[in-house]
A and B are shown apart, each in its own frame.
Chain A
Amino acid sequence: MSAEEVHNRISMLRAERGVSRKDLAAALGVHYQTIGYLERGEYSPSLFLALRIAEYFGVPVEVVFSLRPFPRLGSEVVK
């Protein structure tokens, strides 16, 4: 694991809520390509932006961001 790698579920939450990158970017006040960079893991947000993203989706920040990869959907069922 890279020292500064932060995993996130932004794309999953966005798809689940039917929110486009552009809408999310507008709500957060960032450039829409920044959302793409976040989703691809090419940019790790500041604590402020991470908290705002979590607040936007109405979930705790650890639901959106993690230092370890998130388990794949259905992996618990397979076990």
Chain B
Amino acid sequence: MGQINERQFAEVRRSVPFFWYGTRRGRRTAVVLGAAAVALGYVSAVVCWFLAPSDPAMWTTFTLGGIGLLVYAWAYAVLLVASGGAVAMGENRLDERQLAERRQVRSLAHRATAWLLGLTLALTFFLDGADHFLVRIPTAAAVIYVFALFLTHLILPHLITGWRLPDPLAEDEENEGPLAEPSGNGAPA
């Protein structure tokens, strides 16, 4: 996936109120809502599994997908700003502490998505064996499940970072305040 630069980061930061990325309560709320938005994708896949193809399945998917994507985009923006771009910016724009944090978070997220893929594989084998080696799944359910998995893969490092971040110190808050001029990252280019 593409990495963002300082200008893009500053633009996103301007659009997010300080409360959401600057306080632990705001960040953790964004993490919970981001996780809930991703969960809506899995719910939608389950609904499609049992009901598709049908109108209820279609409308449920559109409704959950629409709400989920809106919340997802908002939570993604909040958590992107909260981490100071550590997860999404290019390596040459980060300092050694941010790089170490990024490596640790990505490692955790990698492990979590590996578990999810493993669970998917186990579920596939289970269904395969239970139904005479023939699994009939509505295409919509498969597509939405893979899409939800993709969104999980994208947001998981941000969720982990957002949950773990401590509140900035008083002097940092002055710098991070909503009226403060975004100053980029300070790291050498």
For B187, what are the chain A residues with a Cβ–Cβ distance below 8 Å? 29-31
For B166, what are the chain A residues with a Cβ–Cβ distance below 8 Å? 42
Number of A-B contacts (CB under 8 A): 53
Number of interface residues of B (CB under 8 A): 18
Decide: B168 and A31 in contact? CB cutoff 8 A: no
Given the known interface contacts A22-B175, A25-B186, A43-B100, the answer about A30 and B95 at a Cβ–Cβ threshold of 8 Å is yes
Verify if B172 is at the interface (C-beta below 8 Å from A).
yes
User: Which chain A residue shows the least CB distance to B98?
Assistant: A31
Among the listed B96, B168, B171, B188, which residue makes an inter-chain contact with A46, where contact means beta carbons less than 8 Å apart? B96
Within 8 A of B (CB), among A13-58: 20-22, 25-26, 29-34, 36-40, 42-43, 45-46, 48-49
Interface centre among A25, A34, A38 (most CB of B within 10 A): A34
User: Which chain A residue shows the least CB distance to B100?
Assistant: A43
Within 8 A of A (CB), among B145-173: 166, 168-169, 171-172
Decide: A36 and B100 in contact? CB cutoff 8 A: no
For B96, what are the chain A residues with a Cβ–Cβ distance below 8 Å? 30, 34, 45-46, 48-49
Given the known interface contacts A25-B186, A26-B186, A42-B166, the answer about A32 and B97 at a Cβ–Cβ threshold of 8 Å is no
- What is A's interface to B at a CB cutoff of 8 Å? 20-22, 25-26, 29-34, 36-40, 42-43, 45-46, 48-49
Seed contacts A29-B187, A30-B96, A31-B186; 7 additional CB < 8 Å A-B pairs: A25-B186, A30-B187, A31-B94, A33-B168, A34-B98, A37-B97, A38-B97
